[in-house]
Amino acid sequence: MNTTIKFGTSGWRAIIAEEFTVANVRKAVAGIARYVAERNPGGARVIVGRDPRYMGERFVQIAADVLASYGVKPLIIAEPAPTPAISFEVARCQSDGAINFTASHNPPEYNGIKFSTPDGAPALPEVTTAIEALIAADGHPVHGSSGVPPEQIDPKPAYLARLAEMVDLPLIRKAGLKVAFDPLWGAGRGYPDSLLRQAGISVATVHDTRDVLFGGHAPEPEGHILNDLRQQMRASGARIGIATDGDADRFGIVDEDGTFIQPNYIIAVLFDYLVETRGWKNGVAKSVATTNMINALANHHHVPLYETPVGFKYIGELIQQDKIAIGGEESAGLSIRHHVPEKDGIMAGLLCCEAVARRNKSISSQIKDLFGKVGSFYPNRENFRLTPEVHTKFTSKLKSDPGNFAGRKVKQVVRTDGLKLILEDGSWVCYRLSGTEPVVRIYSEAKSEPELSRLAAAAKDWIAQ
């Protein structure tokens, strides 16, 4: 089967043995190798890492062989490593990029390739477009080695040392905070829990083994998947539960009473916390689909706001330029100033621990405090599958500028990514079509839960009208 390899918002992903095959991996890595070699004729170095998925070790070896055949030195990470640790290592050792075999939070039958540029950030569209062209043009990757020897590296010590600089671990220890951690069998195993234990902080871990099936579900740290973490919290007396997805770039937070906290709220809490404790007021970034509580907090703190398309690479650019204190997406990705320009679920969890320890308040209590500062915000996201007929009709409809929506005047139309309609009362709806399947993602937000229910229902009805 002739597969067209396309890099989406977070790289190329496909089902193992269908499109994600040895032959296609060779083609994809050959395109990356050519791209890197052309820009570094004096000898390039590329990190090769992976999450714990099936065949990961084999794909790493294949990538190393292909890179070497193009004269690019492979820097191999032997064990599964978190995406943010790989990102940090790229910049630390000044490599020419990284190939990371991961499908992140996708189900276990998937694998994928993320490519990071020399700054450790996810490759921007101009880079991935150039790589896609090289992949398409080179149907016969070079096989065998040119004699460029691989080198093994371990990103863990330097990355954990960096986290220890960024997070106030002595404060967490002094507060006597107990923590529970769930890596969901993923690449985060042995990272935040090791750091916390080294600092003398009580932490209990679940799912601390390799399972290429991730317990039989997608390694996505969402509330309905984290029951084992809740049970461990009760058993150990933990006041907070932190979780990471398959490659540890996304976070999940469970409050002391077992409540799963929406990522939208975590971004808001940590933004407010960083302004309060670090004094960082250079800016804040959020994707267009992320809660407008960030907008309200930016006004409250007199901080510049940047609203980006969906895809953390755009937020990563702002971190690189030191324009923001924190940037995040409602899909549970964030990073902060002076850190990696890549999502870091481990950092997010540790910062939540610090915020609970310093403020001596649960995350839910801190959210209530934010409501008192800037008003209430209730966000929601749903996926809606479209028939071919409705998909075609709705694609055209997204180009319209409706004057009214759900009986209210449309105050502003935003086309940063998809179609976002901001209504006169401050509530909003955002539609984004999937690039890979006939699905529209519907984001909505209102000032109360009853109003959110009405708005979300109207948002679905508008699709077929």
| Cβ–Cβ under 8 Å, residues 158 and 88 | yes
If pLDDT is split at 50, 70 and 90, which confidence band does 145 have? low
If pLDDT is split at 50, 70 and 90, which confidence band does 283 have? very high
What pLDDT sits at residue 6? 87
| Cβ–Cβ under 8 Å, residues 335 and 327 | yes
**Three-class secondary structure assignment of the chain:** CCCCCCCECCEEEEEECCCECHHHHHHHHHHHHHHHHHHCCCCCEEEEEECCCCCHHHHHHHHHHHHHHCCCEEEEECCCCCHHHHHHHHHHCCCCCEEEECCCCCCCCEEEEEEECCCCCECCHHHHHHHHHHHHHCCCCCCCCCCCCCEEECCHHHHHHHHHHHCCHHHHHHCCCCEEEECCCCCCCCCHHHHHHHCCCCEEECCCCCCCCHHHCCCCCCHHHCHHHHHHHHHHCCCEEEEECCCCCCEEEECCCCCEECHHHHHHHHHHHHHHHHCCCCCEEEECCCCCHHHHHHHHHCCCEEEECCCHHHHHHHHHCCCCCEEEECCCEEEECCCCCCCCHHHHHHHHHHHHHHHCCCHHHHHHHHHHHHCCCEEEEEEEECCHHHHHHHHHHCCCCCCEECCEEEEEEECCCCEEEEECCCCEEEEEECCCCCEEEEEEEECCHHHHHHHHHHHHHHHHC
CA separation, residue 219 to residues 83, 184, 243, 352 (Å): 14, 6, 10, 21
Which of 35-49, 50-64, 189-203 has the weakest average pLDDT?
Answer: 35-49
Task: Provide the percentage of residues in the chain whose pLDDT is more than 70.
Answer: 97
Q: In what order do the strands lie in the sheet with 408-414?
A: 378-385, 439-446, 428-433, 419-423, 408-414, 404-405
- Of 187, 190, 258, 185, residue with least CA distance to 216: 185
Domains 12-154 and 158-167+177-374 share a fold: yes
What pLDDT sits at residue 457? 94
pLDDT digits (tens, 9 = 90+) for 220-248: 999 999 999 999 999 999 999 999 999 99
- Of 179, 170, 166, 196, residue with least CA distance to 84: 166
Tokens coding 245: 């997805």
If pLDDT is split at 50, 70 and 90, which confidence band does 358 have? very high
| Cβ–Cβ under 8 Å, residues 48 and 74 | yes
If pLDDT is split at 50, 70 and 90, which confidence band does 307 have? very high
Mean pLDDT over 160-184 rounds to 98
Check pLDDT > 80 for residue 172.
Answer: yes
If pLDDT is split at 50, 70 and 90, which confidence band does 450 have? very high
Q: What is the DSSP letter of 275?
A: H
Check pLDDT > 70 for residue 411.
Answer: yes
Superfamily of domain 378-464: Alpha-D-phosphohexomutase, C-terminal domain (3.30.310.50)
What pLDDT sits at residue 401? 86
What pLDDT sits at residue 1? 54
User: In the chain, where are the structural domains located?
Assistant: 12-154, 158-167+177-374, 378-464
What pLDDT sits at residue 8? 77
Domain 12-154 is in which class? alpha beta
What pLDDT sits at residue 437? 73
Strand partners, 238: none
Tokens coding 435: 């690039």
State which of 124-133, 327-336, 385-394 shows the largest mean pLDDT. 327-336
| Third-level CATH fold of 158-167+177-374 | Alpha-D-Glucose-1,6-Bisphosphate; Chain A, domain 3 (3.40.120)
Q: Are strands 73-77 and 45-50 parallel, antiparallel or unpaired?
A: parallel
